[in-house]
A and B are shown apart, each in its own frame.
Chain A
Amino acid sequence: MTISQSDVRQESGRPRLSGVPADPGGAGPSSGPLDRDSRLRWVLGAVVPPVLLVIILLLAWQLMAAKMSTPLVPRLGEIAGQFGDLLRTSGLWTQVGLTLERVGIGFVIGFLISVVVGIAMGRNTLLRRFLEPLMLLLLVIPGLVKALLCVIWFGVSLINPVLCVVLAVAPVLIMNIVQGVRSVDDQLVEMADVYRLSPRVRLFRLWLPVLAPYLFAAARLGISRAWQVIVLVEIFGLASGIGYQLNLEFSNNNVAGVLAWTITFALIMTIIEYGVFQTLERLSGRWRKGAGA
């Protein structure tokens, strides 16, 4: 049985473009002066403020360096020179690669564990009550202590930094996922029960979409904690990586070197934030855009 289209339209709560279904991701850019204006407005609104902040901070630093005139506060030119030296040597990429590898492996393992444990804790009150104190304990133990213990117990093996990153990110992720799971509408879970959706379908079609905002918030926090502990682990127990290099420059009293490595560090974080997190967030939230079209 098919009812007429006019019948359906009458039911529609809001006006629609005739015959054009809402397209989730198909709102392609159109050309024209209006579009150029809106793009310009977007650039002014989204790009200018952070760039302005960076310029202000750099100018303030330069002023401070000029006023203090001490090697402890090097001028921007010195830091840039040091950064240029780092870029020219292949050592920079090797060290960055090593640190990224440690953070990456630890983060992925921590993420996978967290999704499983977080959903289980969110769904099972007894398990949540059982594991919550452990999570809180892991959250309050400083990264420095975790790094020291991992160095003492696991020495220079890859287990050390990876485990340390897992311990740093998992509690943050898990507690966020638990909150996310508890926010899931029980009625949707009931629907999934009635229609006997498989665990795989539930994970990818129900849990992950609902948890996405919680996961992104937790992943941001988790990755910053991962960086903090990895640097400490590399300072205390390893002979490579960004943390080790920072320590080396510190030992040589080379403040410009410390700052050059810090800039490297900050650039990587920026790339992760804008290149990875925001892209993934945009992709995962496409349905909201489609819904609003």
Chain B
Amino acid sequence: MTAALEVRDVCKTFVHRQTGRREQIFDGLDLSVEHGELVAVVGASGTGKTTLLHLIAGLESPDSGTIELGGPDRTPRLGMVFQQPRLFDWLPALQNVELATDAAGIGKPAARDALEAVGLAEYARSYPSVLSGGQRQRVGLARAFAIDPDVMLFDEPFSALDELTARRLRLLVQDLWLERPRVGLLVTHNPLEATFLADRIIVLSGSPARIVAEHRIDAPRPRQPEDDDLFALHRTIVGQLV
């Protein structure tokens, strides 16, 4: 199977504007993600997890090295779910989703279908500020999945939510993920979340950050949050992190 996302020998250094201090985040990072694979990136704060997502999303450029997103027969479409839903408060839920579908050149029905898929069909005309935190994040998920992305990036998507809500949304993401194979990268602080959702977990550590451990999770989907094997693996990863 060919890699659909290839990060090769990537270096990235940030220079603090005020102090002028240089901080090398990556020095020759390599990572391959295959079609249909969801890779979770875990690690302590400051190990470059979000920077990695920003580099892949094109929000940052690497100082050197290459990042290739390979699509089967078109330029890969990219969806991203952020820690905060990042909605336009002045637009109703549906229009927030339509922003992405319009930009991707997809018809408006896709936006409505996506809202329906996340269980918010009747909130299409509601403004984000009347929605709960979980509902707002559902709109963020709908926006990302509405464009039928080839590459899906999750940047700590449920860390701002209470555990019960986060658990429902993880199940929702699992269902959406099962619809068709994509390339996925999930940055999370939560090893249990990583073991539940991912096919593979990589542990980033050090400065500059490098991959210090890698775990393949072969449990078939749909998975159950209470699965004993997943919980045991999660404990192993926690052991590596602390």
B residues in contact with A196, CB < 8 Å = 103-104
A residues in contact with B128, CB < 8 Å = 291
| Inter-subunit contact B125/A2 (CB<8 Å) | no
**A37 contacts B by Cβ under 8 Å:** no
Find A1's partner among B78, B135, B175 (CB 8 Å cutoff).
Answer: B175
Find B130's partner among A1, A5, A195, A293 (CB 8 Å cutoff).
Answer: A293
Stretch at the interface among B18-26, B86-94, B234-242: B86-94
Chain A, Cβ-Cβ closest to B93 = A21
Given contacts A21-B126, A187-B84, contact A11 B132 (CB under 8 A): yes
**B42 contacts A by Cβ under 8 Å:** no
B residues in contact with A5, CB < 8 Å = 119, 122
**B1 contacts A by Cβ under 8 Å:** no
A4 to B120, CA, bound (A): 10
| Inter-subunit contact A290/B127 (CB<8 Å) | yes
| Inter-subunit contact B78/A194 (CB<8 Å) | yes
Q: Hey, what's the 0/1 contact readout for B59-92 against A, CB within 8 Å counting as 1?
A: 1000000000000000000101010101011111
Q: How many residues of B contact A (CB 8 A)?
A: 45
Given contacts A11-B134, A201-B102, A201-B103, contact A187 B119 (CB under 8 A): no
A residues in contact with B131, CB < 8 Å = 12
**B129 contacts A by Cβ under 8 Å:** yes
| Inter-subunit contact B125/A188 (CB<8 Å) | no
A8 to B132, CA, bound (A): 9
Find B86's partner among A4, A13, A190 (CB 8 Å cutoff).
Answer: A190
| Inter-subunit contact B89/A287 (CB<8 Å) | yes
| Inter-subunit contact B92/A8 (CB<8 Å) | no
| Inter-subunit contact B59/A193 (CB<8 Å) | yes
**B117 contacts A by Cβ under 8 Å:** yes
**B133 contacts A by Cβ under 8 Å:** yes
Given contacts A1-B176, A190-B59, contact A11 B99 (CB under 8 A): no
| Inter-subunit contact A195/B143 (CB<8 Å) | yes
B residues in contact with A194, CB < 8 Å = 57-59, 78, 80
Q: Measured between C-beta atoms, what is the minimum distance from A184 to chain B in Å? A: 11
Known: A1-B175, A195-B103, A291-B89. 16 other contacts (CB 8 A): A5-B119, A7-B119, A8-B119, A8-B120, A8-B135, A21-B124, A22-B126, A23-B125, A188-B86, A191-B82, A193-B59, A194-B59, A195-B80, A201-B99, A201-B103, A291-B127
A17 to B122, CA, bound (A): 12
A197 to B123, CA, bound (A): 23
B101-117 interface with A by 8 A CB criterion: 102-104, 116-117
**A14 contacts B by Cβ under 8 Å:** yes
**A33 contacts B by Cβ under 8 Å:** no
A36 to B89, CA, bound (A): 32
Footprint of B on A, CB under 8 Å? 1-5, 7-8, 11-14, 16, 19, 21-24, 187-188, 190-191, 193-198, 201, 205-206, 209, 287, 290-293
Find B91's partner among A14, A287, A292 (CB 8 Å cutoff).
Answer: A287
Given contacts A2-B116, A2-B117, A22-B127, contact A209 B90 (CB under 8 A): yes
Given contacts A287-B127, A291-B130, contact A1 B172 (CB under 8 A): yes
B residues in contact with A21, CB < 8 Å = 122-126
| Inter-subunit contact B103/A197 (CB<8 Å) | yes
Q: Hey, what's the 0/1 contact readout for B205-218 against A, CB within 8 Å counting as 1?
A: 00000000000000
User: 16 A–B contact pairs at CB < 8 A?
Assistant: A1-B117, A11-B135, A13-B133, A19-B122, A21-B122, A187-B82, A190-B86, A191-B86, A193-B57, A194-B59, A195-B80, A196-B103, A201-B102, A201-B103, A206-B88, A290-B92
| Inter-subunit contact B168/A24 (CB<8 Å) | no
Q: Measured between C-beta atoms, what is the minimum distance from A57 to chain B in Å? A: 39
**B100 contacts A by Cβ under 8 Å:** yes
Q: Measured between C-beta atoms, what is the minimum distance from A189 to chain B in Å? A: 10
| Inter-subunit contact A14/B132 (CB<8 Å) | yes
Chain A, Cβ-Cβ closest to B132 = A13
Q: Measured between C-beta atoms, what is the minimum distance from B235 to chain A in Å? A: 29
**B13 contacts A by Cβ under 8 Å:** no
